[in-house]
Amino acid sequence: MTDLTQTISTLLTPLKDLHARLSQPAPNEWEQYMDKLDKDRGTELEYDYEIYDHGDTTVIYPVATAAQEWCAAHLPANSERWSTHGYVIRTEAADAVCSGMQRDKLISEDEYVNLCELEQQMQDQANQDFAEYQGEDR
């Protein structure tokens, strides 16, 4: 009987540890998390989430871990899902959700593309200004 008790205890110890970890409250220091995100930015994708407008509904598809965690923390647990990570929300609520994600320093694919285009325009203008400057010196 002692061997059986010891065997059961040995088998249950990992479950007890898992239960203890899962029963602890999740960290809710969002500012600390966002500071960590700032330090980690660039280690994953250059943007955090994608937006797909389907008329009455919009799908927010978090592609970066930070965006997945944001959605899990801020969107209702019973939200309708699209695929494994996409969240289906009413289009009229999408602006509020995206504003919240932007406030917390998450970048959408559209924003990233716009920033890349703006950066390219600025670089082109700087090159043009430099070429004109060199032309004046001659």
Task: Specify the number of domains making up the chain.
Answer: 1
Q: What is the pLDDT at residue 32?
A: 57
Q: How many whole angstroms separate alpha carbon 4 and alpha carbon 9? A: 8
Q: What is the pLDDT at residue 9?
A: 64
Residue 101 lies in a domain: yes
Residue 89 lies in a domain: yes
Residue 132 lies in a domain: no
Residue 115 lies in a domain: no
For residue 65, what are its two tokens? Answer: 């871990």
Q: What is the pLDDT of residues 50-75, one digit of tens each?
A: 999 998 999 999 988 889 899 989 98
Q: How many whole angstroms separate alpha carbon 81 and alpha carbon 74? A: 14
| Percentage of residues of the chain with pLDDT beyond 70 | 66
Which structural domain, as residue segments, surrounds residue 62? 24-108
Residue 135 lies in a domain: no
Residue 1 lies in a domain: no
Q: What is the pLDDT of residues 5-47, one digit of tens each?
A: 666 666 656 555 544 554 554 444 555 555 555 555 544 458 8
In DSSP notation, 42-53 reads TSS-S--EEEEE
Residue 30 lies in a domain: yes
Residue 65 lies in a domain: yes
Residue 78 CA, distance from chain mean position: 19
